[in-house]
Amino acid sequence: MANFLFPDRLTARFAAPDDAGTPSHSGHPSSPRESRHFIQQIIDDDLKTGRVTGDVVVRFPPEPNGYPHIGHAKAIVLNFSLAKEYGGRCHLRFDDTNPETEDMEYVRAMKRDIRWLGYEWGENEFYASDYFEQLYDLAERLIEEGLAYVDSQTGEEIRATRGTVTEAGTESPYRNRTVQENLDLFRGMRAGQFNDGEHVLRARIDMASPNMLMRDPVIYRIKKASHYRRGDEWPIYPLYDFAHPLSDAIEGITHSLCTLEFDVHRPLYDWLVEHLFEDPRPHQYESARLNLDYTVMSKRKLLQLVREGRVAGWDDPRMPTLSGMRRRGYTPAAIRRFCELIGVAKADNRVDVALLEYAVRDDLNDKARRVMCVLDPLKVVLTNFPDGKSEMLHAGYWPHDIGHEGARQVPLTREIVIERSDFMMDPPSRFHRLSPGAEVRLRHAYIIRCDDVITDDEGQVTELRCSVDYDTRSGSDSSKKVKGTVHWVSASEGIETTVRLYDRLFNVPNPDDVEEGQSFVDHLNPDSLREVTAVIEPSTADDEPETWYQFERQGYFYLDPVAFEEGKRVWNRTVTLRDSWGKQQEPAAPAKPKGQKQAVPAQPAEPLDPMAELDEEEHSMAIELQTLYALSPEDAAFLATRDDERVFFKEAAAASNTPVAIANWLIHELRPLLSQEQMETPPTTAQHFAALVALHADGTLSSRMAREVLEEMIASGEGPDTIVERKGMRQVSDEEALSGVVDEVLSNHPDRVEAYRGGKKGLIGFFMGQVMQKTDGSANPQVVRALLQERLD
RNA sequence: UGCCCUAUAGCUCAAUUGGCAGAGCGCCUGACUCUGGAUCAGGAGGUUCCAGGUUCGAAUCCUGGUAGGGCAACCA
């Protein structure tokens, strides 16, 4: 694989380790405050509450069995920028526990690409395979504690007895071997006394768990294969579910971030770490993986594309691999920016390629010099330009709005080429490029007029004859204006060069979404690579391979390093410019009819009967609650199906004469504050609870205050009176007293008052909030609302 | 069919944790321009999945649904 020839030079030129991981543009996501994604919120909270006291330590844990792609980049950027943000560290750990697929080649590729992205892990380079000894010892400890056993069933037997998603599994006949027996067997495994598949080590958890991963998962298997780092030292290898959490714990990782599909593994992660390590211990959090339009991301599928020759290799510029993107001309800064733009969340997503392209253009805009290159040449003869003359024109490399200096000379000759698409025989209105009789400016040169069109026998345009207006030389103060400017290159002094025009690899947004009997390769875009012979201006003749240019009016291009090494000059189109003209030409995609994206099934016309789902016993219970306490069917059904809540309710109802309010507060306020276990033995008494509800009912406390008191009651176990007394809480319902606050709020925000009167009625909530804040939540909201409405309407 | 996760603008995400539903990208219009780019100015676009409920007030809390995704390798 002779593809990776320039990583270091590229890094030197474009990677920016200094600002790596910090937003390079201010004000992206939203909100006046910088908005924090859920992982940041968790870490903030851990730091605030002291759950994490030392450094924040995260890790990026690739398996070295494939080339890293843009999906890995998302994880790399997330982890390394988190480490930077919190002043902690990010470990690079190779999760190399499967000897059959892993290779040093992939380790090298991974390290090279992470560095290229602009991140450095320093001394924190680790390998799960370095922990084999420790992991083995931990497995023995598990055995000693009766938490693991050697199972001698075959693979098929293990699979068959695991049960299904709806049925529990059955326990292995070997599940109750003695500790000594297990230890002997496991040591025998380690010593190489058995063949592949003869035994495995299983965690002893629960064959009936609703989570299949907890049904005695296999944690060690015999595999007499040579490991790329440990050679033949080990006949047994730990599995991911065992090695990963424990490697995290060994390294002192605080936050272990992974993708959504691992959320089912979290109970096992916790089980292992809790049994084998002391606090503080690592915690796993999951976020959504990246899906990108018009490409595939799975290593298996990328490998298939390479193997079947659908692409030129792992670093084919159409591939979503980092090596492919690098060779295409994408920059580390652009990829980092993209990864920041897509955010971190738990909802499955599919990201529009336009966002990636935006990030690339935005970065290249002030990094790539402008030159002219004609991709589809049409010959133009300047009839009033002397034959044999070559006029050197001064041409700035940068547009005015980019503050960079630099220019080159561009030769103008009698024969030039322009873009075929810049001429139209019969142009629509709004087309302001060349057509018979029309005028256009040659970029950096003169205005020309098309006097004659030469066509061949088939009517194909083969040549244009134009005349130059010598008063309009670029930079002169000619007053003549034309609408259009076109790029051009001297036909005699321009250089022929190969340009590769890349387009999306697949022609559907989600190639994985295939019909029966089809495969994702059926969606391959046959035009994803178009190679043309272009004419480029001579100033580029000596450029070295890490050169980016913007070919004016075309896009950004990058001199392919692989072809260069083979002695060829090939320009890869990194990304086109945004093209509003091309869009106008295509019929605009019809706007999706409203409501189509999520067809909401018609709901039954009448509300569902809350009693409908109850069994016979629950049903009669609910009826009883309704007749006895006058509860609504909803509340009655809720209590009928929940024993702990019902017991608490009856006790509280007995201590008061407002059962409906008791049920209401129990269901909507108390219950959400408690866990299932707390509900069994509530941290507050039914009598206290009833007293609180009474305080609300008689107007002493507003609902907001009552909620606050309730939280306090749960935390301290005190009665409501004690808390109310201590805090001096009392709802204020006096209109006169509240009028003052209301008037103050309104006069503090004249603009909002005006907006409200102008129709922005939602602002009532803002005013309410202000008043509640000023009164420390003690204002009677009904009264406040009435006062506000009175003043505003 | 069991368990878990998720649902806010076309896309990706916010919403100070119960108080004005916003941003970036994309799209449209206009201005400017020697890149139909960039830039600048403006605009459209919302049943916050649905139905009930609690609350003065719900995207946010409660109940019940719906849809999408994940989980039954001795892979990671």
Tokens of A717: 């176990």
Bridge partners of A497? A534
Calpha distance A242→A98 (Å, rounded): 13
Q: Which residue has the higher pLDDT, A222 or A589?
A: A222
Q: How much is the average pLDDT of A149-165?
A: 96
Q: How much is the average pLDDT of A252-266?
A: 97
Active site residue A289: yes
What is the tens place of the pLDDT at every residue in A694-752?
Answer: 999 999 999 889 999 999 999 999 999 999 998 888 999 999 989 999 999 999 888 88
Calpha distance A681→A725 (Å, rounded): 26
Tokens of A322: 């980092």
Burial A390-419 (b: 16+ CB within 10 A, else e): eeebebbbbeeeeeeeeebebbbbbbbbbb
Query: Is the shortest CB-to-strand distance from A791 to strand B under 7 Å?
Result: no
List CB contacts of A553: < 8 A, sequence separation 6 or more: A419, A486, A487, A577
Number of H helices, E strands in chain A: 28, 25
- The pLDDT of residue A19 is above 50: no
Predicted local distance difference test score (pLDDT) of residue A513: 86
DSSP structural state of residue A598: S
**Within a 13 Å sphere around the CA of A434, how many CA atoms are in the beta-carbon half?**
30
Query: Is the shortest CB-to-strand distance from A173 to strand B under 7 Å?
Result: no
Strand B-contacting residues in A 80-109, CB cut-off 7 angstroms = 95, 97-98, 101
Name the closest nucleotide to A217, judged by C1' and CA: B74
Please give the C-alpha separations between residue A145 and each of A178, A203, A231, in angstroms, as whole numbers.
Answer: 11, 11, 31
Q: Which residue has the higher pLDDT, A156 or A591?
A: A156
Rounded to whole angstroms, the distance from the CA of residue A56 to the C1' of nucleotide B49 is 37
Given its phi and psi angles, is residue A466 left (phi above 0), alpha (psi -120 to 50 degrees) or beta?
beta
Dihedral sign for Cα atoms in the order A303, A306, A308, A310: positive
Choose the catalytic residue: A299, A441, A569, A646: A299
Task: Identify the residue whose Cα has the smallest distance to the C1' of B26.
Answer: A354
Tokens of A231: 């050679």
- The pLDDT of residue A91 is above 90: yes
Calpha distance A689→A666 (Å, rounded): 9
Predicted local distance difference test score (pLDDT) of residue A160: 95
Number of Cβ within 10 Å of residue A712's Cβ equals 18
Task: Identify the residue whose Cα has the smallest distance to the C1' of B53.
Answer: A634
Kindly report the bases of strand B lying within 7 A of a protein C-beta atom.
1-8, 10-29, 34-39, 46-47, 49-58, 61-76
Strand B-contacting residues in A 400-419, CB cut-off 7 angstroms = 401-402
- The pLDDT of residue A15 is above 90: no
Task: Identify the residue whose Cα has the smallest distance to the C1' of B68.
Answer: A348
Predicted local distance difference test score (pLDDT) of residue A517: 80
Name the closest nucleotide to A101, judged by C1' and CA: B75
Please confirm whether the linkage preceding A386 is cis (ω < 30° from 0).
no
- The pLDDT of residue A791 is above 50: yes
Predicted local distance difference test score (pLDDT) of residue A34: 73
Would you give the distance in Å from CA A397 to the centre of its chain?
36
What is the tens place of the pLDDT at every residue in A60-84?
Answer: 999 999 999 999 999 999 999 999 9
Would you give the distance in Å from CA A275 to the centre of its chain?
33
Predicted local distance difference test score (pLDDT) of residue A610: 78
What is the tens place of the pLDDT at every residue in A401-444?
Answer: 888 889 999 999 999 999 999 999 988 877 889 999 999 999 99
Name the closest nucleotide to A446, judged by C1' and CA: B34
To the nearest 10°, the Cα dihedral for A581, A587, A588, A589?
-140
Q: How much is the average pLDDT of A234-242?
A: 98
- Asked if A200 and A218 count as a contact pair (C-beta separation under 8 A), the reply is yes
In terms of average pLDDT, the best of A286-290, A608-612, A741-745 is A286-290
What is the tens place of the pLDDT at every residue in A374-394?
Answer: 999 999 999 999 999 999 999
- Asked if A35 and A29 count as a contact pair (C-beta separation under 8 A), the reply is yes
The mean-pLDDT minimum among A126-130, A135-139, A528-532, A642-646 falls in A642-646
- β-pairing, A461-469 vs A377-382, is parallel
Name the closest nucleotide to A755, judged by C1' and CA: B20
Query: Is the shortest CB-to-strand distance from A240 to strand B under 7 Å?
Result: yes
Q: How much is the average pLDDT of A442-452?
A: 96
The confidence band for A31, taking pLDDT boundaries of 50, 70 and 90, is very low
Calpha distance A289→A349 (Å, rounded): 8
Query: Is the shortest CB-to-strand distance from A158 to strand B under 7 Å?
Result: yes
- Asked if A540 and A495 count as a contact pair (C-beta separation under 8 A), the reply is yes
Strand B-contacting residues in A 111-150, CB cut-off 7 angstroms = none
Predicted local distance difference test score (pLDDT) of residue A615: 80
Active site residue A634: no
Instruction: Give me the percent of chain A exceeding a pLDDT of 90.
Output: 77
Calpha distance A270→A668 (Å, rounded): 32
- The pLDDT of residue A539 is above 90: yes
Calpha distance A529→A305 (Å, rounded): 15
The confidence band for A483, taking pLDDT boundaries of 50, 70 and 90, is confident
Name the closest nucleotide to A222, judged by C1' and CA: B74
Query: Is the shortest CB-to-strand distance from A223 to strand B under 7 Å?
Result: yes
The confidence band for A6, taking pLDDT boundaries of 50, 70 and 90, is very low
The whole-chain average pLDDT of chain A stands at: 90
For residue A510, count CB atoms less than 10 angstroms from its CB and return exposed for 0-12, middle for 13-18, buried for 19 or more. middle
Query: Is the shortest CB-to-strand distance from A167 to strand B under 7 Å?
Result: no
Q: How much is the average pLDDT of A592-613?
A: 50
- The pLDDT of residue A104 is above 80: yes
Choose the catalytic residue: A289, A310, A465, A785: A289
Name the closest nucleotide to A62, judged by C1' and CA: B76
CA nearest neighbour of A337 among A365, A308, A358, A353 = A358
Calpha distance A59→A36 (Å, rounded): 20
For residue A731, count CB atoms less than 10 angstroms from its CB and return exposed for 0-12, middle for 13-18, buried for 19 or more. buried
The confidence band for A678, taking pLDDT boundaries of 50, 70 and 90, is confident
- The pLDDT of residue A7 is above 60: no
Please give the C-alpha separations between residue A555 and each of A183, A371, A419, A488, in angstroms, as whole numbers.
Answer: 66, 11, 14, 15
Q: How much is the average pLDDT of A165-182?
A: 96
Name the closest nucleotide to A596, judged by C1' and CA: B10
Calpha distance A793→A788 (Å, rounded): 8
The confidence band for A617, taking pLDDT boundaries of 50, 70 and 90, is confident
Choose the catalytic residue: A63, A171, A198, A634: A63
- The pLDDT of residue A664 is above 50: yes
Tokens of A181: 């027996």
Query: Is the shortest CB-to-strand distance from A637 to strand B under 7 Å?
Result: yes
Query: Is the shortest CB-to-strand distance from A180 to strand B under 7 Å?
Result: no
Predicted local distance difference test score (pLDDT) of residue A478: 77
SS3 A191: coil
SS3 A396: strand
